[in-house]
Structure 1
Amino acid sequence: MKVARFYAPGDIRIEEAPEPTPGPDELKIKVHNCSTCGTDLKIFRFGHHHIDPPRVIGHEIAGEVVEVGSNVDGWTTGDRVQVIAAIPCGECPDCKRGWMTICPNQVSMGYHFDGGFAEYMIVPHAVLKVDGLNRIPDGLSYAEASVAEPFACVLNGQELAGVGSGDTVVVVGAGPIGCLHVRLARARGAESVYLVELSKQRLEMAAALVKPDAAICAAPMLDPASRSSADLDPVEEVLRLTDGRGVDVVITAAAAGKAQEDGLKMAARRGRISFFGGLPKDNPIIACDSNLVHYRELTIVGANGSSPAHNKKALELIATGAVPVEDLITHRMPLDGVLDAINTVASGEAIKVTIEP
């Protein structure tokens, strides 16, 4: 079979490999779709401290069961399934309290286990143990099901931020995660959703799909006096749109410290700011105006991945049409096009790129 293996930063190879055989506590699936994300780009450029190469990467996985281990119950060949990416242990104090997203023993598909950039792969016992293999609802494509994993992370973030009926929401970052945040906020009853993005091209592409109530291009300006209506200070524009009040929820779906700093300034009294996108490990410190937090009674929340339960709920929301994702998949490529897919993600020309082995 064909696989895409990571060997070192800048070195991903399309190779032939023997088909894997599942152990008694495992399943084997034929991968139909494994979608790409910004993390794959980071791995390609910099590697990852949890990856001991060579490793088959890819963690947004949907496929078909083709072989079932002798000790595995409840699954049969032909079952259509989606696989969680982040795998909690299910046994530590945090997991037992229901906090599986922050399990200190968490491992991941495509990092600790071979992932989905392959024609076939093994679903390890660690996934099955925590109920992390999910049936794809009838009528939902494999490609759509593969988006359930990043969408599950979005769901976790909005639950933690308490996005709900009547809220005014700002989403900073118009990549696939930002687009999912816009759609989920609407599905959760938000009154208005604004989308902020540095890249005009990406903003226009995303706004055409998810149709935010306002699309704000926050491109840096060399000459503020000559700025156009498309080049706005995002804080000023958000305050203008809300008559100076600010918004109830800010979601920073971008790996930028400035986005987090601006988020504090955009928030209304009793506002919630979700630091959804992590910052580079060599520059994780931001300037936080503590008095804004103090006097406005702001809440800042983090968001780290998703739980198995979030993946199940994400599949349900996609399948019912509450949060459609099919139109966000702008590019489909074969397995030997993984490098092209990663380059397309890097270029900003796509919303979501999926690999179809």
Structure 2
Amino acid sequence: MKALRFYAPGDLRLEDVPEPQCGPGEVKLRVRNCSTCGTDVKIQHNGHQNLTPPRITGHEIAGEVVEVGADVNATHGTDWQVGDRAQVIAAVPCGECHECRKGWMAVCQNQTSVGYQYDGGFAEYMVVPREVLKVDGLNQIPDNVGFDEASAAEPLACAINAQELLGIEPGDSVVVFGAGPIGCLHIRIARGVYDVGPVYLVDVNAERLAMSADAVSPDETINAAEVDVVERVMELTDGRGADVVITATSANLTQEQAIAMAARNGRISFFGGLPKTDPTITCDSNVVHYRQLHIHGANGSAPAHNKRALEYIGTGQVPVKDLITRHVPLEKVLDAFDVVKNGEAIKVTVEP
């Protein structure tokens, strides 16, 4: 079969590899869609400490069951059948550590990941490992949801995790930094699930702002390369500041601006991680103290968030179909990475 394998930073090869064999505790999928994200591009250029080459990458996966291991259904109380349509979690909690027992599976201390420790979805076939099945991480795709939409459930799950931590209330004003696919998903969740008030989308790239604004229609776009973002948000909120600020970008400055623009009792999500070479910001602690701000980290998702993501897509609360603006065959997967890197599409999906 064809598969994209990582050998070293800058060395990804689309090559013929043996089709994986399904063990008794595993499920084999025919991959229908594996969508791409900025993390795939980072891996392409920098590798990852948890990724041992050669490794098939890709972690936003939806496919069709072609084989069910003999022990799977009896062990997990499931009823997987050949022909079922399934979505796969990316972050795999152990289910046994202190955090998992507390229900905090998104921050499992023993977390492994599809496309890192296990072969991923940039391939014609993949095997869902027993570790995924153990934590109920293989999900039935609703009948009215396409494979491409289901592959977007994984990043949607991460955004759901972040927003569930924020205590968002109807009518809240929301600022989202980052006009990429994650920023668009955050806007869709905030409106479709939490019924927020005005939403403002911030970026420094005018073309990306325009592209995303066409899709998700924020109440206003703010080009941070042209105006003082904090000043503009204060104007838009009559001097109060934003109730909720989400930084879906890896820029240090946005986190500092988020603190400066947050309203009293404002909630902030540091959704995008910062570069490991420059991970610090300047925080005016008195602003946090006197405005009684709530600053939350957000790390990936739990299996339950993936199920909610599929539910939201299926009910239409959080549409994603129109955000998938580029479909490419597996043979052009490296071209897809370039599209993501250059911000030429909102969401790009690969179809083996």
Residues 287-309 of structure 1, C-alpha deviations (whole Å, 9 max, x = no match): 00000001100010000000000
Whether the aligned pair in 2 keeps the contact of 1:334 and 1:356 (CA below 8 Å) is yes
SS at match of 1:300: strand
Matching of residues 264-279 of structure 1 within 5 Å: 264-279=259-274
Of the three residues 139, 143, 149, the one matched with 2:148 is: 143
Aligned equivalents of 2:169, 2:323: Cα separation in 1 = 23
Give the CA deviation at 1:163. Answer: 1.9
Aligned to 1:154: 159
Residues 250-280 of structure 1, C-alpha deviations (whole Å, 9 max, x = no match): 0000001100000001100010110000000
Matching of residues 57-68 of structure 1 within 5 Å: 57-68=57-68
Aligned equivalents of 1:122, 1:250: Cα separation in 2 = 39
- Identity rate, percent: 64
Aligned to 1:205: 211
Aligned equivalents of 1:47, 1:313: Cα separation in 2 = 30
Of the three residues 246, 257, 260, the one matched with 1:262 is: 257
Aligned equivalents of 1:23, 1:46: Cα separation in 2 = 32
Aligned to 1:287: 282
Give the CA deviation at 1:238. Answer: 0.4
Matching of residues 25-36 of structure 1 within 5 Å: 25-36=25-36
- The reply to whether residue 45 of structure 1 matches residue 45 of structure 2 is yes
Runs of 4+ that moved beyond 2 A: none
SS at match of 1:161: coil
Whether the aligned pair in 2 keeps the contact of 1:36 and 1:342 (CA below 8 Å) is yes
Aligned to 2:245: 250
Aligned to 1:101: 106
Whether the aligned pair in 2 keeps the contact of 1:58 and 1:115 (CA below 8 Å) is yes
- The reply to whether residue 218 of structure 1 matches residue 218 of structure 2 is no
Give the CA deviation at 1:161. Answer: 1.3
Aligned equivalents of 1:164, 1:270: Cα separation in 2 = 12
| Unmatched segments (≥5 aa) in structure 2 | 74-78
Matching of residues 162-201 of structure 1 within 5 Å: 162-187=167-192, 188-201=194-207
SS at match of 2:31: strand
Aligned equivalents of 1:206, 1:164: Cα separation in 2 = 24
Aligned equivalents of 2:88, 2:314: Cα separation in 1 = 16
Whether the aligned pair in 2 keeps the contact of 1:154 and 1:177 (CA below 8 Å) is yes
Aligned to 1:11: 11
Aligned equivalents of 1:162, 1:22: Cα separation in 2 = 43
Aligned equivalents of 1:239, 1:54: Cα separation in 2 = 50
SS at match of 1:61: strand
Give the CA deviation at 1:162. Answer: 1.6
- The reply to whether residue 327 of structure 1 matches residue 333 of structure 2 is no
Aligned equivalents of 2:122, 2:66: Cα separation in 1 = 17
Paired residues, number: 346
SS at match of 2:200: strand
Of the three residues 57, 68, 85, the one matched with 1:80 is: 85
Aligned equivalents of 2:228, 2:319: Cα separation in 1 = 31
Aligned to 2:291: 296
Give the CA deviation at 1:164. Answer: 2.4
SS at match of 2:227: coil
Instruction: Letter of the 1:201 partner, please give it.
Output: E
Aligned to 2:76: none
Give the CA deviation at 1:85. Answer: 0.1
Instruction: Letter of the 2:147 partner, please give it.
Output: Y
- The reply to whether residue 124 of structure 1 matches residue 119 of structure 2 is no
Whether the aligned pair in 2 keeps the contact of 1:199 and 1:217 (CA below 8 Å) is yes
SS at match of 1:309: helix
Whether the aligned pair in 2 keeps the contact of 1:164 and 1:185 (CA below 8 Å) is no
| Unmatched segments (≥5 aa) in structure 1 | 220-230
Aligned equivalents of 1:258, 1:179: Cα separation in 2 = 20
Whether the aligned pair in 2 keeps the contact of 1:4 and 1:336 (CA below 8 Å) is no
